[in-house]
Homo-oligomer: A and B are copies of this chain.
Amino acid sequence: MSDTAEHIKLDRSSPVPLYFQVAAQLERAILDGHLGAGARISDEISLAGSLGLSRPTVRQAIQVLVDKGMLVRKRGVGTQVVHGKINRSVELTSLFDDLAAAGQDPHTVVQSCTRVAATEEVATELRVAPGEEVWSLERVRHIGTEPLALMHNYLPVDLIDLEAVDLAEHGLYETLRERGVLMRVAKQRIGARKGDARECELLGEKRSAPLLTMQRTSYDDAGGAVEFGTHLYRPDLYTFELTLVDR
């Protein structure tokens, strides 16, 4: 019996959607090696039968893993596990979340946290009037004793009172989520440039060292901009990894 369903158990009393239960357990089976690279999974019809689910539900579960780049569908043939280690696709989390999840115990030094008049660029990104007050937040993130990133964020003042928050111990995104600000879409631009004297100093790099740059604008579930940031990373300690899927 080489039925893919043998790795999957459902809990119909759980509030977790069935398709999500299937997707999660299928992902586990792949990551644990029970479904090796190139392995074909059972077809949707028989999988639905084995699990006591309808085909659309099973299909929805498989789609989750296809979107993650872990499975590939071939019409008329079947669905296979993609070779190669799984790099979780870039998700809508922050550097702090990423590091904390990796057990790296990040910490942060707040360089400045003030209200400033929005520059042209910031006003455009945040959709406020130029000159209007916004939060300007500058932080250096460390991992162990090494500085890793210099982050500069701008937020609308009416969104949150940043001075009341312990930004040394908690990430900005984590804080915003706790205050009920839900980020749903973010647009990023990744590039590179030399750091200036101050930037290199703060990051513990030599003068004019090459730095990885990232600009991000985040939008909440109403479609409005809630955060704009320009960040600098030490390229020897941080890279961006992402998985692309053709549709």
> CB within 8 Å of B: which residues of A?
37-38, 67, 69, 72, 74, 80-84, 87, 90-92, 127, 182-194, 210-213, 217, 219, 221-225, 235, 238-246
Nearest CB of chain B from residue A59's CB, rounded to whole Å: 11
- Smallest beta-carbon distance A19→chain B, Å: 12
A223 and B191 contact, CB distance less than 8 A: no
Task: Please determine whether B84 and A191 come into contact, CB atoms closer than 8 angstroms.
Answer: no
Q: How far is the CA of A235 from the CA of B210 in the complex (A)?
A: 11
Partner of A224, one of B38, B186, B238: B38
Pairwise interchain contact A244-B210, C-beta atoms closer than 8 A: no
Please tell me how many copies of the chain the complex holds: 2
From known contacts A84-B217, A189-B239, A191-B235, infer whether A246 and B183 are also in contact, taking CB-CB under 8 Å.
yes
Question: Which of chain B's residues has its CB closest to A243's CB?
Answer: B187
Determine the chain B residues whose CB is within 8 A of the CB of A219 once the complex forms: 72, 82-84
Closest Cβ of chain B to A155, distance in Å, is 15
Whole-angstrom distance between the alpha carbons of A11 and B213 in the complex? 46
CA distance A55 to B38 in the complex (A): 35
Chosen A-B contacts, 14 in total, with CB atoms closer than 8 Å, are A82-B219, A83-B219, A90-B244, A184-B246, A185-B244, A187-B241, A187-B243, A187-B244, A188-B242, A188-B243, A189-B241, A190-B212, A193-B210, A210-B211
Given the known inter-chain contacts A191-B212, A245-B92, please indicate yes or no for A82 contacting B235, CB distance below 8 A: no
- Least CB distance from A35 to B in Å reads 11
Residues of chain B lying within 8 A (CB to CB) of residue A81: 223
CB atoms of A244 and B186 under 8 A apart: yes
Q: Is B194 within 8 A of A210, CB to CB?
A: yes
Please tell me if the beta carbons of A185 and B38 are within 8 angstroms of each other in the complex. no
